[in-house]
Structure 1
Amino acid sequence: MFKLISSWSRTQKAYVFLAIDLALIPAALLFTYMLQSLPTSPLDTLISVLPILPYLMAVAAGLSLWLGLPYIQLMAYERHAAGLTAVLSLLLAGSSALMTQTMGVDLPPGTHVMFGISYFLALVATRVVLFQVVMAAYRRMLPRRRVLIYGAGTTGTQLAQALKAHESIEPVAFVDDNTSLQGMNLFGLPVFPPARIEEIVKARDINRVLLAMPSQSQPVQAKVTARLQKLGLEVQILPSFAQLIGEEALVDKLTPVGPQNFLGRAACDMELAQSCECYVGRNVLVSGAGGSIGSELCRQILACRPSRLVLYELSELALYTVYQDLMQMTECSDIELVPVLGSVTDARQVRKVLTDHEVQVVLHAAAYKHVPLVESNPLAGLANNVFGTQTLAREAAELQVERFLLVSSDKAVRPTNVMGASKRMAELVVQDLSTRHPATIFAMVRFGNVLGSSGSVVPLFQDQISRGGPVTVTDRNVKRYFMTIREAVQLVLRAGAEARGGEVFVLDMGEPIPIIQLARQVIEKAGYTVRDAEHPEGDIEIEVIGLRPGEKLEEELTLNDTLIGTRHQKIFCAEESHLSEIEVASALRGLRHALAASDEDAARGVIRRWVEGFAASEEARKLS
């Protein structure tokens, strides 16, 4: 039956409403006569006015259609519709008085006033009852989603009022941090403290929470959302009124601040002209071309106008991304871009690529650099970072490539982790090849953290802020050297042009920056405040989680303090001892045997023996 009524057209439903309204006229008249002190009984009085009843109903039908009352939906029946109903009742009462006087029926004037009031109340009451009946039928047919409203302020209460009439959503209760509201009933819904959310959800069968707190900052909302999602709840955030009318963006996105804003010094920016002489017109290969450093190397090398640029990358997605980006930069030039998907540990592929593309300059940036991941996967890290470097450098030397530049790390100096030790061993391999293959200029460039690179702290902090925090710092005393990707690559290319063979170049990175200070800067530049003991009302908390395996409090750039200046004030050359050919061969042989046996302890034993500082740092770490 209900499905049949639901299928009626708007006109059909209007006729039903009109019929009900007309049927209420005699009922309202009888009720009026029952309330009045008349000479005859209420029923006799009604019978005496029966001749005018058809005319009265005709007038009512005409007025109702003219005012549009039958076409007003039950859900939309509010103050305006009630006003139209009052107008209809008033006009009908006047028509009743005029008709009874014309027909000679003697009724007191107050009777017609009472009839208008009774008819108005009957129309309103009928629509209220019909609305409840229809909603009850809808509820029986359609399962309603029971929701909890987080926030009992103006927005929350308006939302609850609006949802009362919703056909598929049923508000069950409020949750609010305001203790003055807790325990109250607003619009028939109880207000609970947030601490009782889990209890309320289970007791009242709730699976969705509507976040009605648009005045709160985005981090606060994100933090509440994360806490609710951990309970398995679906969370929806209600926009503010300003957002709905377009005065504010509907999505409050975190706008990342440029990495140079966190250096604490002026970024080094230099002309590439002096660095381009050994790249212009050459066939250049960049390994790890899809990484943060590798992709920036490719962009800046293109400005030097090479003849061919070979993009060597292990990750298919990273290679596709950088290739598409660089293709746009070379549209109007004759520079040939060659994407190569492969690993630098594959000797046959490396030899073929170097030969087929007649590579003259190799910039080796491919490496596993994430300290905790390499610490957990030492064999993979050593295979890629050490033997990948050896394979690429050896093939380049045998084919008499003009230049080979290794992008190294400050973590290679007295390393406390496998990643740093693998980079130091890669340096030793390159230094050894430099002494035996004078036809190729081998060099290394060592620098610290790069702001904005994949896996660096600034993007991590910004992501944590976008989720409401906390921002995690390993130790309050941790300090790191930082450069922007752009200035690091500029100096790498300049160092590569300065190289004459066997140098370990060190970049001047300024003073090390405390990581906790950097965390504060990122939070504040994002427009938020730090929440701590002194400022408990702040937006984002900084949480100290402890040093990760293999992590130092401070990094170093050289094994000793002996630095020689170069023609560029930001580039120095470190004088460091290195292993002999026999020692390097012995170290690589031991490491190869450990990898073949999948023996992590043996691999650590090799680097403990040959990498300066690793054994001492490992013992210190065990004692701590």
Structure 2
Amino acid sequence: MNTDKSAKRGSGSFLIRAFLNLPRFQKRIVSVLSDAFFLFFAIWAAFALRLEQHLWLPTREQLTVAAITVVFTIAVFIHLGLYRAVIRYLGDRAFLTIIYGVIASSVSLIILGYLLQVFVPRSVPIIYGALAFLFVSGTRMGVRMIVNHPKQMAKEAVAIVGAGETGMQLASALEQGTEYRPVVFVTFDRANHKSMINGLPVVSINHIAKHMPKYRVQRILLALDEHSQIDRKNLLKQLEPLSIPVQTVPSMSELVAGQARINDIRDLEIEDLLGRDPVRPDSAVVAKSLYQKSVMVTGAGGSIGSELCRQIIRHRPRSLVLFEQSEFSLYAIERELSAINRVEGLAVELHPLLGNVSHRRRCESAMRAFGVQTVYHAAAYKHVPLVEHNVIEGVQNNVFGTWHTAEAAIAAGVERFVLISTDKAVRPTNVMGASKRLAELVLQALAQRQNKTVFSMVRFGNVLGSSGSVVPLFRDQIRDGGPVTVTHPDIIRYFMTIPEASQLVLQAGSIGLGGEVFVLDMGEPVKIADLARKMIHLMGLEEKTDSNPVGDIEVTFSGLRPGEKLYEELLIGDDPQGTSHPRIMMAREVYLPWEQVEDFLSQLQRASQAFDCGAIIDVLKNAKTGYAPNGNLEDLVWCNGQSDVVAADRQDDKVHRLSV
């Protein structure tokens, strides 16, 4: 029996494939013949129903009227373009075409009956019109369903969270696509539970756990309207236990700007992992400080620097100087900004410059050449283990790069200079944090030494999505099958997004008066192990543990890396001062006079020139940075024999001095 059914299905699918493989002209001939047959049948059925005769036979005159009506109707369909429509992609306009054609056909039946004096009861054209529409549209709908059903079933079943405008657009786009098949809407309005939207069932978020298996959902897509008052933190808490991959769609602003399409499905926005509302800048204040100004961004190709450039250019500065050491990074950001400039008609002058921030004359000549008024100093080495392994380069870039760029800004008459700092500068346990704290002290001292250039610093926590961030690292590890490596079970960090960090920098650059260290009220810190587990669950997988040995991804702990500490802080003191922005605070911290800072810089310079990493560590400890290393010196060159060379050099210097 099953063999017979399979044979029938096979022959049916063979006929469908044969029809689909016909040339376009032959398909149209088949459609015309099919319509002619069903139109004749509709006329016969209309008379038979009206006259209540199951075996009604038409007269010659009635047959003539029927034939003319059918020919006329086919001609109308041809004129309206019905046979040019591709059946598998049939839309609403095709059905409107059928309605117009059927109305014209019914009217022609009435007129022909009157002109040829043929008996056509008044209700027959109405019955005929209804039947003709059903047959003509029904055959097309049936063919479309037969052709598309296997393709639809091959798509991945998805649930759309959000039954608003964004959700509707997404469902419509996915129906036309080839990857996903929407099967259910998830709503936050309890009153809409068990209703229907666009032919799809709607379930309440409170019943999502029950209905996801029912509709065999393989993926959940967030399509939340931009201004919807949805608590995303609670939403993710409800979705996390389902172990179904959760992804999102572009925001409405991206769609309007043409930066993305509604069906550009992507991984969860990293803001969703924060569990708090993003910080919004005071746009008016920021715009006033940037509009028609000449602005320079150092490290313009980095994760923070590039986002700064994207936001600055939209405030329409007169010119934007991109200062970057990496050729490829500079090329990439200049190309992206040129596209934004052209598409949005911003008319901003872009100047891509290759250069090293440690070269003071290069920085000064660039600032003078383009009349730079504001500098955002984002150039830095910020990866803790790498700087720990490359002490001299880290100090040269982070400390001397900041100093030389700042001195160049003073000499060139720059109005504002903003340093991008880090929470690791607070009571640092690593060279990177100590170098950034010393860079802060340099700028604080320069702010006291002169009053032409306003210096300010912005300190924030880990930036989600930046180079070295744990989020893309965890995502790659999960996709590779694990394990996800976390350094310590109790390690916590403050987090923010790249756009958020950049907005804070722009805000601080607008309100700084000189020498301030600005910090962000970042809410509660995030436990890294919990973040890793949340990402595993939201990517549709289960954590592999002793109690769940059949899980997908294991979380392992590798131990703290060189210079790393369990808890990061944003303030050295405990008495922050408020600012004009409710989420930005100003740290009250000690600073050193320029003479003392200059002495430390001289010591650091001599130690760097001698390639003496031990002496560099001593200077960083003595420079009032609060540096307290939690391990041994880890510089790769120093630990592999360079210390012997330094000791020999010192001995040679000693012998030379004695001989003299």
Indicate the TM-score class for this superposition, using the shorter chain for normalisation: 0.5 to 0.7
Partner of residue 19, structure 1: none
Correspondence 1:323 to 2:323? no
For the 8 Å contact 1:424–1:611, the answer to whether it is kept is no
Partner of residue 574, structure 1: 587
Partner of residue 468, structure 1: 481
**Matches of 2:266 and 2:289, distance apart in 1:** 39
Partner of residue 268, structure 1: 279
Correspondence 1:278 to 2:289? yes
**Matches of 1:355 and 1:600, distance apart in 2:** 35
**Matches of 2:461 and 2:516, distance apart in 1:** 17
**Matches of 1:460 and 1:453, distance apart in 2:** 10
Question: Letter of the aligned partner of 2:497 in structure 1?
Answer: T
**Matches of 1:491 and 1:349, distance apart in 2:** 28
Correspondence 1:426 to 2:450? no
Instruction: Identify the match of residue 375 of structure 1 among 388, 400, 422.
Output: 388
Shift of 1:387: 0.3
Shift of 1:269: 3.2
Instruction: Identify the match of residue 415 of structure 1 among 428, 440, 450.
Output: 428
Shift of 1:304: 1.2
SS of the residue aligned with 1:421? Answer: helix
Shift of 1:619: 8.8
For the 8 Å contact 2:282–2:507, the answer to whether it is kept is no
For the 8 Å contact 2:494–2:524, the answer to whether it is kept is yes
**Matches of 1:257 and 1:320, distance apart in 2:** 28
Matches within 5 A, 1:487-526: 487-526=500-539
In 2 relative to 1, CA 281–414 (structure 1 residues): closer, same or farther, beyond 3 Å? same
Question: Letter of the aligned partner of 1:356 in structure 2?
Answer: A
Shift of 1:612: 3.2
How high is the TM-score relative to the length of structure 2?
Answer: 0.55
**Matches of 2:612 and 2:632, distance apart in 1:** 20
Question: Letter of the aligned partner of 2:335 in structure 1?
Answer: Q
Partner of residue 436, structure 1: 449
For the 8 Å contact 2:454–2:514, the answer to whether it is kept is yes
Question: Letter of the aligned partner of 1:598 in structure 2?
Answer: F
For the 8 Å contact 1:529–1:540, the answer to whether it is kept is yes
Which sits farther off after the overlay, 432-441 or 408-417? 432-441
**Matches of 1:491 and 1:348, distance apart in 2:** 29
Shift of 1:529: 1.1
Correspondence 1:256 to 2:275? no
Shift of 1:271: 5.1
Instruction: Identify the match of residue 325 of structure 2 among 281, 295, 314.
Output: 314
Correspondence 1:550 to 2:563? yes
For the 8 Å contact 1:609–1:615, the answer to whether it is kept is no
Which sits farther off after the overlay, 568-577 or 520-529? 520-529
Correspondence 1:299 to 2:304? no
**Matches of 2:546 and 2:347, distance apart in 1:** 61
In 2 relative to 1, CA 580–618 (structure 1 residues): closer, same or farther, beyond 3 Å? farther
Question: Letter of the aligned partner of 1:546 in structure 2?
Answer: G
For the 8 Å contact 2:519–2:570, the answer to whether it is kept is yes
Partner of residue 192, structure 2: none
Correspondence 1:596 to 2:609? yes
Matches within 5 A, 1:42-441: 256-270=267-281, 272-331=283-342, 332-441=345-454
SS of the residue aligned with 2:625? Answer: coil
Instruction: Identify the match of residue 561 of structure 1 among 574, 577, 583.
Output: 574
Shift of 1:274: 2.4
**Rg: which structure is higher?**
1
Give the gaps of 5 or more residues in structure 2. Answer: 1-217, 219-263, 635-660
**Matches of 2:589 and 2:281, distance apart in 1:** 28
Question: Letter of the aligned partner of 2:530 in structure 1?
Answer: Q
Question: Letter of the aligned partner of 1:456 in structure 2?
Answer: S
SS of the residue aligned with 2:388? Answer: helix
For the 8 Å contact 2:463–2:495, the answer to whether it is kept is yes
For the 8 Å contact 2:287–2:315, the answer to whether it is kept is yes
SS of the residue aligned with 1:614? Answer: coil
For the 8 Å contact 1:254–1:526, the answer to whether it is kept is no
In 2 relative to 1, CA 274–529 (structure 1 residues): closer, same or farther, beyond 3 Å? same
**Matches of 1:495 and 1:315, distance apart in 2:** 27
Give the gaps of 5 or more residues in structure 1. Answer: 1-216, 218-252
For the 8 Å contact 1:528–1:539, the answer to whether it is kept is yes
Question: Letter of the aligned partner of 2:508 in structure 1?
Answer: A
Question: Letter of the aligned partner of 1:318 in structure 2?
Answer: S
In 2 relative to 1, CA 544–306 (structure 1 residues): closer, same or farther, beyond 3 Å? same
Instruction: Identify the match of residue 607 of structure 1 among 608, 617, 620.
Output: 620
- Between the two proteins, the alignment pairs up a number of residues equal to 370
Shift of 1:579: 1.2
**Matches of 1:403 and 1:266, distance apart in 2:** 29
**Matches of 1:381 and 1:619, distance apart in 2:** 17
Shift of 1:338: 0.5
RMSD: 1.9
1:521-546 Cα offsets, whole Å, 9 max, x none, are 11111111111112111111101000
Question: Letter of the aligned partner of 2:538 in structure 1?
Answer: K
**Matches of 2:489 and 2:563, distance apart in 1:** 17
SS of the residue aligned with 2:537? Answer: helix
1:1-36 Cα offsets, whole Å, 9 max, x none, are xxxxxxxxxxxxxxxxxxxxxxxxxxxxxxxxxxxx
**Matches of 2:282 and 2:547, distance apart in 1:** 46
1:404-460 Cα offsets, whole Å, 9 max, x none, are 000000000110000000000100111011011201111000000011111100000
Correspondence 1:537 to 2:550? yes
Partner of residue 457, structure 1: 470
For the 8 Å contact 1:408–1:445, the answer to whether it is kept is yes
For the 8 Å contact 1:281–1:306, the answer to whether it is kept is yes
**Matches of 1:611 and 1:345, distance apart in 2:** 23
**Matches of 1:407 and 1:447, distance apart in 2:** 8
Instruction: Identify the match of residue 527 of structure 1 among 509, 526, 540.
Output: 540
Shift of 1:255: 5.0
Runs of 4+ in structure 1 displaced over 4 angstroms?
616-621
Question: Letter of the aligned partner of 1:478 in structure 2?
Answer: I
SS of the residue aligned with 2:573? Answer: coil
**Matches of 2:545 and 2:455, distance apart in 1:** 50
Taking only the aligned residue pairs, the percentage that are identical comes to: 51
Shift of 1:620: 13
For the 8 Å contact 2:562–2:631, the answer to whether it is kept is no
Partner of residue 175, structure 2: none
Shift of 1:272: 2.2
Shift of 1:353: 0.4
**Matches of 1:328 and 1:619, distance apart in 2:** 48
